[in-house]
Amino acid sequence: MNARGLREPRRKLHVKTYGCQMNVYDSERMTALLAPLGYAPTADLDDADMVLLNTCHIREKAAEKVYSELGRIRLVKEARRAKGRDTILAVAGCVAQAEGEEVLRRAPFVDMVFGPQTYHRLPEMVARLHRRSGAVLDTAFPEESKFDHMPRSSPVDGPTAFLTIQEGCDKFCTFCVVPYTRGAEFSRPVAQVAAEARALAQQGAREVILLGQNVNAYHGVDDETGQEVGLGELIRRLAGTDGLDRLRYTTSYPAEVDDALIAAHAEIPALMPFLHLPVQSGSDRVLSAMNRRHDRVFYLDLVERLRRARPDLGLSSDFIVGFPGESDKDFQETLDLVRRVEFIQAYSFKYSPRPGTPAAAMDLQVPEDEKDARLTELQDLLNVQQTAFNAACIGRRLPVLLERPGRHPGQLVGRSPYMQAVHVDASEDKLGQIIDLEITRAGANSLGARPLVPARPPAVTEVAARHAPEASL
C-alpha cells in the first residue's frame, strides 16, 4: 500500500480505444477504476496483464475489425500463457453492446464483455472473474447511473480534459446505431458535473470539453432547486470554475440548440468560438429520410443566429454523401449549403449501411462510384474553405493553449480558439500555458507561429471579422 492507502501498481493494463471522444473519456475512466486494483497503464501489449478494447460501432464492418484484432491478441495471450502469465481480455464499448454473447461465441478466449453503461462495474467483474471460471457478460442498461459509482475524475493528461455530461440519444437518425448501443438520453446532475470540472482544474486542466452523444439534450438536475438546467446555463456555471480558462462542447444536434445556448456564445468569453454542428446534408428530402429534425432553412438560420451572437464563430460539421435515394440535385443542395456557411473544418463520409438501422433496409442505395465522385467533390470544396480560413490567420495573433511537445526538438503544439493545431518553437516549461502567438504559416491542417511574443489582450475577434458570414447567409 502507498501513503494514500492505495495498492501499488503491480499489474499492467493495455487499453486500445476506437472511435469518438466519448470512448476516449470512457477509457480514461476505466483506467482510473482499475488503478485501485493495482493496474497501471502500459503501451506494450505483450506486457499487459489485462487488455481492454474499447470499441466503436460507427464505422463500416466495425465488428469484423474487432474480431480480427481479437485474433491477433489471442496469439499474445497464448504466448504469455506458455510463459506462465495470464492475460485478461476485455471487450467494452459499442461493439460489445451490440454483439453481446456473439463475442463470446466467436471469440471464446475473451474474458469480459460489457457495454458503455456498465463499465462502472468493472472492479466487480474482475473480482467475479477471479472467483470463478467462465467469462463475464454485462451488456444491460442498468437502472443506476454509472457516474455515481466511479472516481470523481480521471487523472488529467495534459491541459485539455474531457468531461462527459450527457449520454445516449433518443433521436433515432435512420443511419445511426447510437440509440441502440448507448441507450436513452441521460444527463448527469449539475453538482456532479461541477465537482468533476473543479477536480480536473485542480489537476491542471485549463480547457474542458463537455461531451455528450447529443450534448444539446443536456438537462441535468440542480440538486438545490430540483429544477433541470440546460446546456447554456451549465456552461455559464462552469465558466466560473477556478483555473478553467476554456470550455467547449460536442456533439451538437442542431434542432436542440436553444436561445440560452446561443446567448452563452455571446456572453461567456471562456466558451471558445468554435462549434461542431453536424448538418449531414443540405437537401430537405435527404434530411427527412435521415429523420433529422432540422431542414436547410432552419440550419442556415441557426448559423446566422449563432454568428450574430458570436461573430467570430468558426463552424465545423459532419456530412454523409450517397445516403439512399440521394439524387444529384440533393447533392448539389449540400454543396450549396457548404458554400453559404463556409466551414472552417469538416468530416465527410460516404454512406455505408449499419446493420439494424432503418436506412440499411432502404431502397435506392447509391452506387459506390457515384458516392466516391460526390465525396471527392465535397471534400475538395471543404478543403478550399478550411485552407482559406487558415490562410486568413497569417499575421494574426491568437491565444494558443500549448498542449504537448511537437515532433521536432524544441517545438510545442497547441490549440487555437478555433481548434487549429499550432506549431511553435518554445521551451517545455510553457506547456499548459495560454500564450499569444503570431501566426506566420498556414497549411491545410495546421498553423505555424513565431516564437513567443510579448502577451497582449487576445485578439480573437480580429480573425472573426475576416470570416464574418453576413454576405453568404
Q: Which listed residue (93, 116, 179, 399) binds ligand SF4 by CB under 6 A?
A: 179
Shortest Å distance, C-beta 204 to ligand SF4 = 31
Q: Give the interface segment with ligand SF4, choosing from 128-136, 175-183, 191-199, 234-242 (CB under 6 A).
A: 175-183
Start-to-end CA distance of the chain, whole Å, equals: 63
- Residue 139 in contact with ligand SF4, rule: CB under 6 A: no
Q: Which of 256, 235, 114 is nearest to 163 (CA)?
A: 235
Which residue, among 23, 17, 211, has the nearest Cα to 116 in the 3D structure? 23
Whether a cis peptide bond, with omega within 30° of 0, leads into 251 is yes
**Minimum CB distance to ligand SF4 smaller for 48 or for 211:** 211
| Rounded Cα gap, residues 327 and 90, in angstroms | 43
Region of 202 (left: φ > 0; alpha: ψ -120 to 50; beta: rest) is: alpha
- Interaction between residue 119 and ligand SF4 (CB under 6 A): no
Residue 20 vs 40, nearer CB to ligand SF4: 20
The set of cell numbers assigned to 267 is 456572453
Position 442, amino acid: A
Total residues contacting ligand SF4 by CB under 6 A comes to 10
Q: Classify residue 462 as exposed, middle or buried by CB count within 10 Å of its CB (0-12, 13-18, 19+).
A: middle
Binding characters for ligand SF4, 143-172, by CB under 6 A (x = yes)? --------------------------x-xx
CB of 350 to ligand SF4, least distance (A): 16
- Asked if 97 interacts with ligand SF4 (CB under 6 A), we say no
Taking Cα atoms as reference points, which of 126, 74, 77, 137 lies closest to residue 101? 137
Q: Report the greatest alpha carbon distance in the chain.
A: 69
Minimal distance, residue 287 CB to ligand SF4, in Å = 11
Among residues 161, 178, 229, 447, which is the contact residue for ligand SF4, using CB under 6 A? Answer: 178
Q: How far is the CB of 141 from ligand SF4 (least distance, A)?
A: 16
- Please identify, among the stretches 64-72, 176-184, 257-265, 309-317, the one whose residues bind ligand SF4 according to the rule CB under 6 A: 176-184
CA distances from 430 to 57, 270, 434, 446 (A): 38, 20, 8, 20
Query: Contact at 8 Å (CB) between 345 and 419?
Result: yes
Q: Based on the shown chain and the rule CB under 6 A, indicate whether residue 23 belongs to the binding site for ligand SF4.
A: no
Could you give the CA distance from residue 211 to residue 24 in angstroms, rounded to a whole number?
11
CB of 116 to ligand SF4, least distance (A): 13
Q: Which of 173, 247, 401, 449 binds ligand SF4 (CB under 6 A)?
A: 173
Residue ranges of alpha helices (H) inside 83-115 are 93-99, 101-106
Between 154 and 214, whose beta carbon lies closer to ligand SF4? Answer: 214
How far apart are CB 347 and ligand SF4 at their closest, in Å?
A: 12
- Cβ of residue 169: shortest distance to ligand SF4, in angstroms? 3
Per CB under 6 A, which region of 67-75, 129-137, 174-182, 199-207 contacts ligand SF4?
174-182
Binding pattern for the stretch 183-222 against ligand SF4, x by CB under 6 A and - elsewhere: ------------------------------xx--------
Nearest-approach distance from CB 341 to ligand SF4, in angstroms: 19
Between CA 55 and CA 44 the distance in angstroms is 19
Would you call 93 exposed, middle or buried from its count of C-beta atoms within 10 A (0-12, 13-18, 19+)? buried
Among 176, 209, 279, 341, binds ligand SF4 (CB under 6 A): 176
Q: Is 250 in the site for ligand SF4 (CB under 6 A)?
A: no
- Measure the CA–CA gap between 130 and 126, rounded to whole angstroms: 6
- What is the secondary structure of 376-419 as a DSSP string? HHHHHHHHHHHHHHHHHTTT-EEEEEEEEE-SSTTEEEEE-TTS
Residues that bind ligand SF4 (CB under 6 A): 169, 171-173, 176, 178-179, 213-214, 253
